[in-house]
């Protein structure tokens, strides 16, 4: 009974942490949307998308290997985490420079400077979140993100009370300061400090799998940037504001999808579940979340106009038209995510990357054609829905055939050797557990 109670608490804290992590991002977007024009919001959110893409990459390259170490001792996880945090921060510096360059090109240098400072903080804090999950102590990540989300909510309240009180750049500065406090809190709680010594050796150990997991996790955000950029080119910044604004409305729901790996992977690794057991759980979750996505997408446009403007400001008038179609897109993504999480628990980095590339290219091609042919954000939203449904049907049919009719191999091999430092997971044959392609 104690183990069951502990599992329930870990699940609640893991899901709650992902909620808070996404909420802190969504709140700052809401804050920027309220007092700004559609054009200003479109430019700011385009740069924010670069940071989001980097966050996705780090969650795959750093977060997934940490989660796959959930059966290890705290000291082994902490050793991996020290390098992981340093690597995430270093990558954040590079991302910050890119964000600054884009902002300068868009004649928003102050916004770019704020993003450049925020990037390494955001990515390092996220790496430590996965450390807490892997250690079986998600409550530390939960309280860290609760602190961050509280400050972000305070910024939002200020924009409600005094719309002209803060510029977009000042909002980002406050948001990144809160992230720094959340990062320090996590360092103390998980007793992990960044380590530069041995960073190169850490990265080159199984670097191909880190790259695969990273690109798989971040490539959909890159695809989103391409789609928004193409839509902007054909339609204008109004398209960016409407599409990204609608995604922001669906953000709280999208958290449910992104929280599943934080729950399923570590618990499956610790329990030694079979692929069939994992697929059964993921399938049940997909039914629930896809129904919620479709409901939110179709119901949100009927919100009172005044409430919608509180959330997205002037962008609400454009975003409400694309919400039903993005609701369908998210419903399909629930099933796609279920299949991807199944492969993550198996460490199938090669297969994951191939499927994600196919999914992203499908979305880019269909949405680019829709933007060129229709010249409307609604047309692009329909393209997003169609591409996701097509990919979801193909993936689910394949997974169902493979894992529903017979018992599948165990997720965690019984021959794991945990003695060699620097490795993620090795079998006695010396092969990385999770090299399936």
Q: Tell me the β-bridge partners of 274.
A: 410
Judge contact between 342 and 402, C-beta under 8 A: no
> What's the sign of the alpha-carbon dihedral 24, 27, 32, 33?
positive
Question: Which 3 state secondary structure label does DSSP give 416?
Answer: strand
What are the start-end ranges of the H helices in 300-417? 305-312, 316-345, 349-374, 377-403
Q: How far apart are CA 151 and CA 175, in angstroms?
A: 7
Give the model's pLDDT for residue 297: 81
pLDDT at residue 392, as a whole number: 94
CA distance linking residue 231 with residue 289, whole number of Å: 28
What are the tens digits of pLDDT across the range 359-370? 889 988 998 888
Task: Output the six-digit token pair for 155.
Answer: 């910024």
Please tell me the distance from the alpha carbon of residue 15 to that of residue 252, in angstroms, as a whole number: 12
CA distance 192 to 175: 23
Q: Say if residue 313's pLDDT is above 80.
A: no
Q: How confident is the model at residue 396 (pLDDT cuts 50, 70, 90)?
A: very high
Cα dist from 407 to 39, 129, 351, whole Å: 54, 33, 21
Average pLDDT over residues 285-299: 85
pLDDT at residue 205 tops 80: no
The predicted model gives 159-172 an average pLDDT of 84
pLDDT at 108 over 80: no
Model pLDDT for residues 237-251, shown as the tens digit of each residue = 666 666 766 776 776
CA distance 374 to 234: 9
Angle (CA) 126 281 23, round 5°: 30
Q: What whole-number distance in Å separates Cα of residue 257 and Cα of residue 13?
A: 15
């Amino acid at each position: 009974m104690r183990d069951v109670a502990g599992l329930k608490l870990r699940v609640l804290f893991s899901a709650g942490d992902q909620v808070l992590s996404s909420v802190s991002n969504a709140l700052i977007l809401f804050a920027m949307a309220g007092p700004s024009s559609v054009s200003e919001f479109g430019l700011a959110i385009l740069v924010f998308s670069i940071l989001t893409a980097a966050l996705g990459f780090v969650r795959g390259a750093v977060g997934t290997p940490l989660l796959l170490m959930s059966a290890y001792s705290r000291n082994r996880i902490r050793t991996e985490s020290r390098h992981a945090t340093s690597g995430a921060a270093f990558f954040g510096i590079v991302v910050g420079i890119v964000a600054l360059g884009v902002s300068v090109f868009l004649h928003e240098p102050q916004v770019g400077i704020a993003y450049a400072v925020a990037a390494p903080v955001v990515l390092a804090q996220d790496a430590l979140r996965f450390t807490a999950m892997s250690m079986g102590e998600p409550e530390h990540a939960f309280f860290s993100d609760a602190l961050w989300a509280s400050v972000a909510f305070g910024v939002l309240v200020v924009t409600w009370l005094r719309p002209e009180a803060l510029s977009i750049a000042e909002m980002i500065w406050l948001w990144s300061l809160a992230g720094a406090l959340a990062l320090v809190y996590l360092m103390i709680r998980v007793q992990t400090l960044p380590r530069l010594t041995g960073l190169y050796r850490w990265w080159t150990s199984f670097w191909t799998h880190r790259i695969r997991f990273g690109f798989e996790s971040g490539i959909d955000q890159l695809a989103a940037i391409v789609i928004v950029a193409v839509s902007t080119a054909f339609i204008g910044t109004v398209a960016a504001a409407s599409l990204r604004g609608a995604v922001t409305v669906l953000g709280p729901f999208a958290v449910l999808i992104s929280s599943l790996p934080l729950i399923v992977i570590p618990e499956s690794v610790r329990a030694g579940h079979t692929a069939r057991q994992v697929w059964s759980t993921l399938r049940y979750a997909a039914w629930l979340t896809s129904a919620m996505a479709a409901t939110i997408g179709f119901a949100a446009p009927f919100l009172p106009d005044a409430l919608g403007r509180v959330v997205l400001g002037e962008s609400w008038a454009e975003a409400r038209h694309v919400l039903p179609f993005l609701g369908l897109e998210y419903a399909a993504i629930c099933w796609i995510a279920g299949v991807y999480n199944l492969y993550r628990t198996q460490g199938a980095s090669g297969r994951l990357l191939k499927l994600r590339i196919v999914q992203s290219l499908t979305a880019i091609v269909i949405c680019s054609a829709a933007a060129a042919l229709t010249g409307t954000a609604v047309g692009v939203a329909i393209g997003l829905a169609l591409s996701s449904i097509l990919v979801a049907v193909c993936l689910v049919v394949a997974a169902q055939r493979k894992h529903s009719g017979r018992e599948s191999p165990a997720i965690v091999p019984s021959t794991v050797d945990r003695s060699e430092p620097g490795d993620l997971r090795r079998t006695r044959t010396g092969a990385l557990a999770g090299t399936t392609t």
